[in-house]
A and B are shown apart, each in its own frame.
Chain A
Amino acid sequence: MNVLEMRQITKVYGTAPNEVRALDGVDFSVEPGHLVAVMGPSGSGKSTLLTIAGSLEEPTSGEVVVNGQPLGSMSRNERAALRRRTIGYVFQDFNLLPGLSAIENVSLPLELDGVGLRRARAAGRAALESLGLADRADHFPDQLSGGERQRVAIARAVVGERTLLLADEPSGALDSVSGEAVMRLIHDACQRGVAAVVVTHDAQLASWADRVVFIRDGRIVDQTSTSADVEAMLGRQRPGTPS
């Protein structure tokens, strides 16, 4: 079963004469353990795709199903609950709440969900540890570097039993080394079974994905095929590549 299933999604902003079609009949799905990149120039609708997938916005028409649950029939509070338990977000910048330490930021979704403080903290600590941030747990956002902040944000997005990770230009504000580290973390999360969607205009980030989807003017126009096809295209086997 796909973690995320979007069928015939259309999103229209504004009204008749000035309306903007951000998305136009998009079909999109992500299966567990897969990292999918959505590439497109600015204004192509890729961020809208992500906010609709994450239940932050509602499509004008079409259906979004997350873990088998259709979003259309959910109330605002049920969608909020879905974001606490199933969907994790990582944004380009401004990801952490100031005034909360790294560990508090990470365990916040769990606490919002009513998980006891001790358990929430333990889960938060585990998430931070897995991202190599155990020693930064009690630092506040303004005491962390940009890369560290983004790693904390990823820890928050995967804490608990999240199955869908949505990232919008997650390394946009970082240098390429930190950016690679962020993508590596998302990649690792997928190895553990999380499904991830990364929206970007950066080919390097996109190349971390198992599959790259190209979006133009609100439509999905293309996507890369399986790695096996590429092997065939390149016509030779390379050492170190998974066969």
Chain B
Amino acid sequence: MSVRHALLALLSDGAKYGLQLRNEFEARTGEVWPLNVGQVYQTLARLERDGLVAVEDRGADGPQRLYRITRAGRRELEEWLVTPPDLSAPPRDELVMKVLVAAELEGVDVRAMIQAHRRYLISVMQQWTRVKGDESALDLHLALAVDAEIFRLEALVRWLDAAEGRLKRHPLARRAQPARPATRKTEARP
């Protein structure tokens, strides 16, 4: 998430004080991406330096300053909205690395390991779903952000499913597996 562009977006519907910007920013995305206050002022200062925002009341203290978006700032925001993020290079995903490593190591129960990750991912998804649970209290920004997170996590779960299936069929992986898959049975909740 680009804090820079988020702030520009907040200013696009009118001039705002620093404190106001900070509060609005947190209110919209804070639940998903918590941000410290210093980061907000630091970014505003850079925006001012690059001529993308202008300060109306130069003498005032950070929170009391009134910020306004400039024409260049508006152009920058529009540019940013239509430019796709660079997804061509795969991120170095830790989970993927772990499974790749485990597949090569002798004596590691890959299935059990995958299941542990899966269980964790789904537990996290359960958490996010619970956020969505009470629909009446759900605001749009939050719902969109939660959805994004759930879909991302789901993609990982599905990748784990695929990986498990692929490893099962692969002759090299098969030798690494124990004769019987270790079952990790946890007690049912009371």
Contacts and interface: CB of A to CB of B under 8 A. Distances in A.
Direct contact of A and B (CB under 8 A): yes
Interface of A: 29, 39, 41, 180, 184, 187, 201, 203-204, 206-212, 214, 216-217, 219-227, 229-231, 233-234, 238-242
Contact of B150 (A29, A39, A207): A207
Given A221-B183, A222-B184, A240-B31, A208 B129 contact: yes
A222 B119 contact: yes
A207 B127 CA distance: 8
Contacts of B121: 203
Given A184-B135, A214-B118, A224-B122, A207 B142 contact: no
B122 A203 contact: yes
A230 B126 contact: yes
Given A207-B150, A239-B31, A240-B137, A222 B185 contact: yes
Interface of B: 30-31, 115, 118-133, 135, 137, 142, 150-151, 153-154, 157-158, 161, 165, 181, 183-186, 188-189
B128 A207 contact: yes
A238 B150 contact: no
B31 A224 contact: no
Instruction: Determine the main DSSP class of A at the interface with B.
Output: mixed
Contacts of B133: 187
Contacts of A223: 119, 185-186, 188
A35 to B, nearest CB: 10
Contacts of B128: 207
14 contacts: A203-B121, A203-B125, A203-B153, A207-B122, A214-B115, A219-B183, A220-B183, A223-B186, A224-B119, A224-B123, A224-B126, A225-B189, A227-B130, A233-B120
A118 B176 CA distance: 65
A39 B157 CA distance: 12
B142 A216 contact: no
A106 to B, nearest CB: 23
The residue among B130, B131, B157 with the most chain A CB atoms within 10 A of its own CB is: B130
Nearest to A240: B131
A149 B172 CA distance: 47
A24 B127 CA distance: 31
